[in-house]
Amino acid sequence: MSFFERAKAAADDLMAKADVAMSNAGVSVPGIGPDRALRDLGVLAWLEATGRQVDPADRDRVMATLRELEASGRLGPLTVTPAQPYGQTPPPPGAAATAAATGAAAGVPPAPPPPPTGAPQSAAPPAAGGVMPMRDAPAPPPPGSAPDARPTLEEPEKPEDAPERPPPPPPPSWA
């Protein structure tokens, strides 16, 4: 038996062991398990809903796969994601419990809090995408804050009689 034949046999053995371990752990290989079957069912439903032709053999194959996965317990829980308007960010975690505790109506977000009084308003609203445009100057300090103690980056003025410093020497040469 040559080296390549032994290597191929070892690789085949390892692949078989990995498949057994993954199936015992309940891990599905992407594109083979329930995710792929549910995606295919969604595609079939979309095609039918938009009036396009669906091959009955494809529908039967997908349904048989899903029935097999459900019988073996590998399909998992099936839930539908709650409807969200396009472009709206989802509510923060715990928002439903807070809304239920305060008696707010389901689906109606509470009014945003009013802006603090006396706070300076920004000059320009955020651009599309929610990003504030870049400013050339730093923001002014908040009212009542201590002055900035950091030194400025401007060059200090030299007296007229100050001697000019010579430039640094060139780096050493390897030649």
* pLDDT above 90 for 60: yes
- Alpha carbons within 13 angstroms on the beta-carbon side of residue 98 total 8
Q: Are 30 and 36 in contact (CB under 8 A)?
A: yes
pLDDT band, very low/low/confident/very high, at 56 (cuts 50, 70, 90)? very high
Instruction: Please give the pLDDT value at position 175.
Output: 58
Give the C-alpha separation, 74 to 94, whole Å: 30
Residue that wins the pLDDT comparison between 129 and 6? 6
* pLDDT above 70 for 97: no
